[in-house]
């Protein structure tokens, strides 16, 4: 080996002060779609939203577009307000039911709305995977 094949102390110091990989990266700017959970497109799940209005709580049948353990995309002909609290009811063909507390997180492309669940739904995630028959992932 030649003497110039060894990394000198000064080479290390130059790398120490500037490391291309050690930079703050704004992930939101890199991700067009911010949802990072596996989304399932299911047509076999019935879905209903209950609004939490003190004067006029309503049950509204919605079309489930896709769902994950963290949220869902729905189509709803009734107007929903962003940041409003809702209860989200799901019923599978096998009879399994879920009641999930959520917030309307997105209404930019109404009548399509995004729901963000209050907590991670582990049991729902397991049931979505185990009851999946035609593999359609989003």
Of all residues in the chain, the percent with pLDDT exceeding 70 is: 70
**What is the phi-psi region of residue 95: left when phi exceeds 0, alpha when psi lies from -120 to 50, beta otherwise?**
left
pLDDT per residue as tens digits for the range 126-136 = 999 898 876 55
Helical H runs in 1-138? 9-17, 27-30, 122-130
Q: How many CB atoms lie within 10 A of CB 128?
A: 21
CATH label of the domain that carries residue 115: 2.40.10.220
Cα–Cα distance, 19 to 111 (Å, whole number) = 46
In a domain, 126, yes or no: yes
Closest CA to 94 of 19, 22, 42, 29: 42
Which tokens sit at 115?
């729901």
Tokens of 93: 């063909």
The alpha carbon of residue 98 and the mean position of all alpha carbons in its chain are separated, in whole angstroms, by: 17
Task: Give the whole-angstrom CA distance, residue 1 versus residue 130.
Answer: 59
Q: Is residue 124 part of a domain?
A: yes
CB 130 within 8 A of CB 93: no
Contact 136, 40 (CB under 8 A): yes
| Domain limits for position 91 | 37-130
d(CA 31, CA 12): 33
Total domains present in the chain: 1
pLDDT tens sequence across 8-41? 555 555 555 555 555 555 544 444 445 456 888 9
pLDDT on residue 55: 84
| 10 lies in some domain | no
- On whether residue 66 sits in a domain, the answer given is yes
């Amino acid at each position: 080996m030649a003497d110039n094949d060894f990394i000198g102390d000064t080479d290390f110091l130059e790398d120490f002060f500037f490391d291309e990989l050690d930079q703050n990266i704004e992930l939101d700017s890199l991700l067009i779609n911010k949802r990072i959970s596996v989304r399932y497109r299911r047509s076999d799940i019935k879905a209903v939203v209950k609004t939490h209005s003190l004067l006029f709580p309503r049950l509204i049948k919605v079309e489930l577009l896709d769902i994950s353990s963290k949220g869902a995309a729905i189509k709803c002909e009734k107007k929903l307000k962003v940041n409003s609290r809702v209860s989200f009811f799901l019923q599978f063909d096998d009879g399994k039911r879920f009641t999930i507390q959520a917030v309307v997180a997105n209404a930019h492309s109404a009548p399509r709305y995004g729901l963000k669940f209050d907590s991670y739904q582990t049991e729902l995630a397991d049931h979505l995977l185990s009851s999946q028959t035609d593999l359609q992932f989003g």
